[in-house]
A and B are shown apart, each in its own frame.
Chain A
Amino acid sequence: MISSHLPVLQVVVPLLAAPLCVLLKRPAVLWAFSLIVSILSAVMAYLLLQQTADGNIISYAMGGWAAPWGIEYRVDTLNAYVLLIVASISSLVLLGGRKSIEKEIETARLSHFYTAYLLCFAGLLGITITGDAFNVFVFLEISSIASYALISLGRDRRALTAAYQYLIMGTIGATFILIGIGMMYMVTGTLNMHDLAQRLPEVSNSRTLMTSFAFLFVGVSLKLALFPLHLWLPNAYTYAPSIVSAFLAGTATKVAVYVLMRFIFTVYGIEYAFTALPLSAILMLLAIAAIMLASMSAVYEDNIKRLFAYSSVAQLGYMVLGISFLSVAGLTSSLLHLFNHALMKAALFMALACVMYQQGNVLMGNIKGLGKRMPWTFGAIVIGGLSLVGVPLTVGFISKWYLILAAIEAGHMLLVAIVLVGSLIALVYVWKLVEQGYFQEGDEKITKQEAPMSLLLGTWFLVLANIYFGIDTSLTVGVAESTAQQLLGVSP
């Protein structure tokens, strides 16, 4: 029974666990419960990935109603891959995050916090797995509403305005997506993605369809924080509680990238998106702008969380750049970066959670001598930073390597240069951190003062994953490549 119902259990288990969380009281129980649910999800995602690895597509008809009349879950390698990313990042973040959560969130609110966390998590899983266009919107809203609340829990009052800003922009984005879906429905009469894909070519010269594409693209870009629609992201990540930043940085934008890929490649089809519309050029331009401008903003940033948030916008640029090549190599690099960036950012934000735990802020001026005070934490930041730059033996290197290969393959030598310059800028801001941490003298009186073991353990788990997947690339590259081939319809 379990294996055939795996797709629905993937979402229903956290969804069922969330309301139960409200009824629990003890912090330790809450934490353990959420962690178990999260790990369970990760295991299920792994099983799904295994089942779909050979190009097999699992279809699950909700309520027993065949698609397109009912809602269908349709799992292929891409879904399973993103599901695994979301579930494992969530598990790892929760694993190490208990101390940080309990420090930053009042005890009385903990049960609601974990409920919101699980709802957000379930929402993200739901977006990723569904094969129904409208269902995407419903789960998008579950995860968004929960994340507004989660972000607003930050201690700084600016967390409130950040959450409000995100709410407004997120709702505009979601409504744009709704308009896009509506117009798509209008010309085809169906909401099922697979069915849409088959019916859209018939109406491909309709202006309504083109408008629907424009609205969907802008709506998803808002959620994805694609440059210049990224304005909500830096504030949201900066002022959210540390663990929430780590979780969202590792998952939310990745799911948005997935939605973009799904709509471009599966629903509208390559033919329509790239031949009828100049999507490739648009994506490329936006990606270049994101890489250059967001990286530059990061250099001048004084708050380290915000620094990494800007770097996230830049990194999203790399993913979009990969998509714009419309080649197996390009898509492989995007998919790889999806996973790799999730690992990097989760690790970095977890490390920042350690810093936050000890000193209550993460301003550049206050991390002087941090390398001595918190050697392990700072070590994690340095390795994560190197990964961000793309130094060999880290995951960052792998995705950049494939991206450069794809650029060379496509004959865009300028883009190779841009990727390299982007990495150089990343090196600049990482170096700024290193300089502050290792070469500036901090407060002499404070001696060694490391973060709690559990937090460090979670952080280093992620850091080691950064290194492991930087060395042993067989799993990630293999999956990414076969997924890319599937998406482009190229037989391996």
Chain B
Amino acid sequence: MMLELIVNYISYAMLLLGSFLSLTFGLGLLRFPDFYSRMHAAGVADTLCAGLIIFGLMLQAGLTLISVKLFLILLFIWFTSPTSSFTLASTAYRCGYGTNDKGEQA
């Protein structure tokens, strides 16, 4: 009984932290001055928030098929999100976006 309660509280904490972070990073995406710093905000949010929220949900679900699916989703996000962030950044950089000719940030 006790254990269940603790697990529940941990799950709630993770969910709340996740939502708080998603809001802050959302703000970052909105307010940061240039593309590369915005990308930083979005990238961190994607991996960290997703991890927190999905782990939170997994704790709620317990050891079931649902948790397996959640884990798959998380795995998927962890694989694809950094990949696309990286590809996006490198493409933007290669296209010369937001940098001067020497490759330094303008």
A and B in direct contact, judged by CB atoms within 8 A: no
Q: CB within 8 Å of A: which residues of B?
A: none
Q: CB within 8 Å of B: which residues of A?
A: none
